[in-house]
Structure 1
Amino acid sequence: MTVSQSRDFGHVGPDHARAQTRLRIFDDDVPTHDLSQKVVRVGPGYRLFLAVPKGQPPAAGWPVIYMLDGNAAFDFLTADHLAQAAGLVVVGVGYDTERQFARELRTLDFTAPDGPGDGLRPDHVHDGRMAGGAGMFHDRLTGPLRAAAEAGLPIDPARRTLWGHSFGGLFTLYALLAHPAGFARHAAISPSIWWDEDLMRRIAAQADQASLPLLVALGDREKRSGSDGPPPDGPAPATMQFVADLARHPGHAAQIHVLPGHVHIQTLAGSFALAFPFALS
């Protein structure tokens, strides 16, 4: 496991529990990419946000990064960020909503099943929400959503990266461990391991031996939403220990970056300058 202290790449974000998307990137002059959106009527309905490089693709096709919570990811995305992703297709996988985050839907999609079958169950953290749909969402993500995103694009299937923040980061770790053939690289940003650390450790213990590139980034001022007290002074110990243990078993090549001064929402955009070069490497 490689640990580094990263420069301040982020900026303060809005209250992600209620924020509406503005998607200014679609009104900006973006020299490096062509931008578009499309809605895919599968499951609850998803919105895809696409940034496709201008110019000729490589012979093997473009590398691509899939970004969960695509509404929020593209709300924070700027032309300067995309300048660091020249030659990379950026796909935001969001929901058909005008909000940055669809809280109930992402809780269902991004949390792992606990046991055989579809694994759906009431969320033990958030009253009124359902959880455990990560297996079904992974099938959608690598099936109809991927097909819709890549339609007409020359994509290199060996250079697909999955990126997720918070619950999306939790899903990214689940995808790495439970479905390693889905993506070649994984970037888990501030993963919400606290949601069910025991379950994630069981999934890790049952995972096949593999060695896939894994990037983890988190802030040193993060705390759980709704928790009392000041922000902590240091990265989440449970996340640091989980990644350290993961590097030993089943042997995934992990690199971890601590983003100084970053609270939870800031690590979303704060990770872009790490994740885009990672997807291109």
Structure 2
Amino acid sequence: MTSLGKVGPDHARRQAELRIFETGAPSHDLSRKVVAVGPGYRLFIATPRGRPPAAGWPVLYMLDGNAAFDFLTPGHLATVPGLMIVGIGYDTERQFARELRTRDFTAPDGPGDGLRPDHVHEGRVAGGAAIFHDRLTGPLRDAAEQGLPVDPARRTLWGHSFGGLFTLYALLARPGAFARYAAISPSIWWDEDLIRRVAQAAAPASLPLLVALGDREKRSGSDGPPPDGPAPATMQFISDLASHPGHRAQVHVLQGHIHIQTLAGSFPLALPFAAG
């Protein structure tokens, strides 16, 4: 039986220092908001300081925003001075809200299905991806973009780990809500049947997809040394995805990266991908 005390890797309990809000960034204005919807979410917003294009700024939405903005630096922002970045986080002082993200980022068993017990983590609830997608593209996006010139045709969704799994769900089940998708070390192991349940039922979508993963990743709590190579389940998913019309991924294997390292390790790939 799994203990509900100290479970998961150390980084899952780490406090978010969010130093970028103390140092500032020459290229962007930084702001924060709390949105009282569902369990409560925090928005972390980096808005370019220059003149916006006629159609508005391209915008990158980053799940696990507390962690994403904890790793984000002024140097990262300087590489994309014309990209607006929005972190969608939880109303917590930690980098990750494990129970909430499990619920929000995992897909239902089928259309119309609701929440269910998590089959991996005892005591957690899963299957709320459809509910969270409505929040993300509704009140959370409205609050993030309020009063700002955003190009609705240039929104990108980024997610890491369970957030990467949600990013793939959003691409397959709700294509069109975002123009581009970046799935970083997606937790395919939790839901290897996702493509068979969702992709075949969804309309084909020819949308840019970036996938990045490390070659030294292993599941939290698993025994033995880190593997030497990218996760086979993820690589098989990418291969299966290619058989569906319109779905092609650009894949990057981050050398020497364990799971948590791919979060920030993806920034040099994902930021220009979203700004392009």
Shorter-chain TM-score bucket reads over 0.9
Equivalent residues of 2:110, 2:197 under 8 A apart: no
Q: TM-score, normalised by structure 2?
A: 0.95
| Structure 2, unpaired ranges of 5+ | 1-8
Q: In the aligned structure 2, how far is the partner of 1:255 from the partner of 1:248?
A: 15
Q: Which contiguous aligned blocks of 4+ residues in structure 1 show a shift greater than 4 angstroms?
A: none
| Structure 1, unpaired ranges of 5+ | 1-13
User: Are 1:190 and 2:179 counterparts?
Assistant: no
Residue from 245, 250, 261 that aligns with 1:250: 245
Q: In the aligned structure 2, how far is the partner of 1:150 from the partner of 1:93?
A: 12
Residue 205 of structure 1 and its aligned partner are, at CA, apart by 2.2
Identify which range, 136-145 or 15-24, moves more after superposition: 15-24
Equivalent residues of 1:113, 1:120 under 8 A apart: yes
Q: In the aligned structure 1, how far is the partner of 2:194 from the partner of 2:243?
A: 18
Deviations 1:1-57 (A, max 9, x none): xxxxxxxxxxxxx93221001000111141100001000000000000000000210
Q: CA RMSD in A?
A: 1.1
Q: 1:274: which partner in 2? A: 269
Equivalent residues of 2:213, 2:262 under 8 A apart: yes
Q: 2:91: which partner in 1? A: 96
Q: In the aligned structure 2, how far is the partner of 1:199 from the partner of 1:267?
A: 22
Residue from 40, 46, 64 that aligns with 2:59: 64
User: Are 1:22 and 2:1 counterparts?
Assistant: no
Q: TM-score, normalised by structure 1?
A: 0.93
Q: 1:236: which partner in 2? A: 231
Residue from 77, 80, 84 that aligns with 2:72: 77
Equivalent residues of 1:193, 1:200 under 8 A apart: no
Q: In the aligned structure 2, how far is the partner of 1:141 from the partner of 1:206?
A: 22
Equivalent residues of 1:118, 1:136 under 8 A apart: no
Residue 118 of structure 1 and its aligned partner are, at CA, apart by 4.2
Identify which range, 108-117 or 174-183, moves more after superposition: 108-117
Residue 84 of structure 1 and its aligned partner are, at CA, apart by 1.4
Equivalent residues of 1:205, 1:250 under 8 A apart: no
Equivalent residues of 1:167, 1:192 under 8 A apart: yes
Residue from 119, 133, 155 that aligns with 2:128: 133
Q: 2:26: which partner in 1? A: 31
Q: In the aligned structure 1, how far is the partner of 2:241 from the partner of 2:202?
A: 10
Change in Cα spacing, 1:75 to 1:182, as seen in structure 2 (3 Å) is same
